[in-house]
Amino acid sequence: MSSMNNAIFSVARYGTRLGTRSEGEQARGDLLAMLDTLPAKGCLIISLDGVDVLSGSFADEAVGKALQLLVGRAYGDRTMILRSPTLELTEDLADKLDQRKLAMLCVVGDAWSVIGRVAAPLRETLARVIERETVVVKDLADTLGIPANTCHNRIRRLVELRLIREEATGASAPQTQYRFRAIRCLED
Amino acid sequence: MALGLVIETAEEIVDAVVERGVDRLDLRSVPFIDPYALLLLSLALRERQTAGRCPLTVLWPETLAVRRWMTAMRFFDDLRERGPAREPLRSPSSALQPIVEIGDEAGVGRIVEGFERRLNDRYPLGPPARRRLVGVMFELFQNVPQHANATGELPSSYGVAAMQDYAESLVLAIADNGIGLGRSLALRSDPSPMDDEAAMRAAVLDGLSRFADPGRGHELQKIVGTVRSWEGTIVVRSGRALLYQSDREGDLYRVPPFPGVQIALRIPRRVFGIDEVAPEPETVFNEFDE
């Protein structure tokens, strides 16, 4: 565990060359069990440190299916991110997430990227949220130079994909107000 | 047969043994056999035996180097009884990766590790091409336990893999005698009638799988793309359809019917940063000639 809210799931515990769906299924069981133990807004860091080969089949079974459940809100507001020694190692996983129309934040060293299916405007919006850490739609729309409705739609999609968090601000008139926060669990 | 039996000519075997049902297969003049042709020959002989047709006499290649190579590849063991886990004989000039039987999915990781180890012993390969090749092996090998008998209609299915290096390329072959792509895709919840050519297009070119899960499928499609990006050659055979894709040309061909799925990849060695020229198999075994 890296902090109370976060946990690290080391994929290398299953070996350095990970290839079959049956191995991935076993890993997914352990991964979801660990996700279940996290607090309501906890973040699971899936670490590929020590992994040499990650096939699409293993990656899809272990991570793709788990992310599908997460996006389906089976695990509340919890989130997952990927930590990898190289982006190349995540290529097959990225393809599987693309097939599932999902996406995931991936941290390589100090740099982040997003793997899977995310349209360019969403990537741009996500980059601004990560840069600012916390945003409200109106300010973000001004920064991006787009209508507030467009910005709101982008933000909602990023929340649905579990790439950013939504938080109520406390101000409620006339409706509940929200701000949106980057997932920064690696720095916690 | 006087031709070398390789990816491009291996259909001669199916045509003679299965389609025409010859009673004598004359391989005496065959100067060269690659792993794909070797696996196809092995499966064709099995198929002939299983079908209970007239006995087949095989006249083996007269070139000693070819017979030595077939022995080193454990081909003749295959005609008798092969255990799944025997460590193959190794020497610097022997077969790179003899025929290995692919059993259940739990054993796939060990088989891939063996292939990689033998390849690495001969050529310390650098990533990322090595990683990609290992990933390709994982996908192709696990297809055998996952799909070859997906309908459960066969008493058992049989899958094998082998690999050999040549002066300019590596050849990896995987073959099974299972239900084939068409029967597998017929298990979809929304099956549409497909002949073998349509099934080949759907599975290999369009990435279709028998599963509704969106994470399944696309692996063969991706492997074809990878081999093309390496300027290599790939052949996928299922039923009456054969897809051939080289760096220069590609097409779908109608071939004699044969059970299962057979795949071969011919990958240029330079992809792996192997620059030195290896001896061709015709000369590799001269030191053993009697």
Put simply, whether B185 touches A (Cβ < 8 Å) is no
Q: What is the mean pLDDT of residues B78-101?
A: 63
pLDDT computed for residue B230 by the predictor: 94
Percentage of the residues of chain B whose pLDDT score is greater than 70: 89
Looking at residue B276, its pLDDT comes to 60
- The yes or no reply on domain A118-188 and CATH 1.10.10.10 is yes
Which residues have a Cβ under 8 Å from the Cβ of B256 and sit 6 or more positions away?
B11, B14, B15, B18, B19, B240
Assign domain A1-117 to a CATH class.
Answer: alpha beta
Domains in chain A: boundaries: 1-117, 118-188
Q: What is the reported pLDDT for B248?
A: 81
Q: Which of B51-60, B64-73, B177-186 is predicted with the least confidence, judged by mean pLDDT?
A: B51-60
- Sign for the CA dihedral angle at B105, B132, B212, A105 comes to positive
Give me the mean pLDDT over the B80-92 stretch.
Answer: 47
Q: Tens digit of pLDDT for each residue in B73-85? A: 999 986 665 444 4
Contact between chains at A53 and B128 (C-beta distance less than 8 A) = no
Whether residue B88 has pLDDT greater than 50: no
**ipTM of this complex:** 0.89
| pLDDT for the residue B91 | 47
Q: Would you place residue B51 in the very low, low, confident or very high pLDDT band (cuts 50, 70, 90)?
A: confident
**Domain pair A1-117 / A118-188, same fold:** no
Predicted pLDDT of residue A186: 56
User: For B167-212, what is each residue's pLDDT tens digit?
Assistant: 899 999 999 999 999 999 999 988 788 999 999 999 999 999 999 9
* Averaged pLDDT score across all residues of chain B: 87
What pLDDT was estimated at residue A173? 66
Interface of A with B in 85-144 (CB under 8 A): 88-89, 92, 95-96, 99-101
Domain boundaries, chain B: 11-83+97-275
**Amino acid A31: pLDDT:** 98
Q: Which amino acid is at A29?
A: G
* pLDDT for A86: 96
Least confident among A85-94, B34-43, B85-94:
B85-94
B108 CB neighbours in chain A (<8 A) are: 19-20
Q: What does the pLDDT read at residue A172?
A: 64
How many Å apart are CA B235 and CA B4, to the nearest integer? Answer: 17
Beta strand residue intervals within chain A, DSSP E = 6-10, 17-18, 43-47, 53-54, 79-83, 103-108, 111-116, 134-135, 164-168, 178-182
Q: What pLDDT score was predicted for residue B249?
A: 82
pLDDT of B289 above 90:
no
pLDDT above 50 for B290: no
Structure tokens at B235: 């052949």
Show the tokens assigned to B130: 């090595």
Residue to mutate among B142, B147, B206, with most A CBs inside 10 A, is: B142
The vertex-A143 CA angle with A140 and A145, nearest 5°, equals 105
Domain B11-83+97-275 in CATH: superfamily?
Histidine kinase-like ATPase, C-terminal domain (3.30.565.10)
Chain B residues with beta carbon closer than 8 angstroms to that of A95: 218, 222
Residue in chain A closest to B137 (alpha carbons) equals: A19
Write down the H helix ranges in chain B: 11-14, 35-51, 64-72, 75-79, 108-122, 129-147, 180-185, 196-200, 219-229, 281-284
Nearest-Cα distance to chain A for B44, in Å, is: 28
Whole-number pLDDT of residue B83: 43
Q: The whole model's pTM is what?
A: 0.90
Tell me the nearest-neighbour CA distance from B219 into chain A, angstroms: 8
Per run of 10 residues, the mean pLDDT along chain A (length 188 residues) is 79 96 97 95 96 97 98 93 96 97 96 95 96 94 96 96 89 78 71
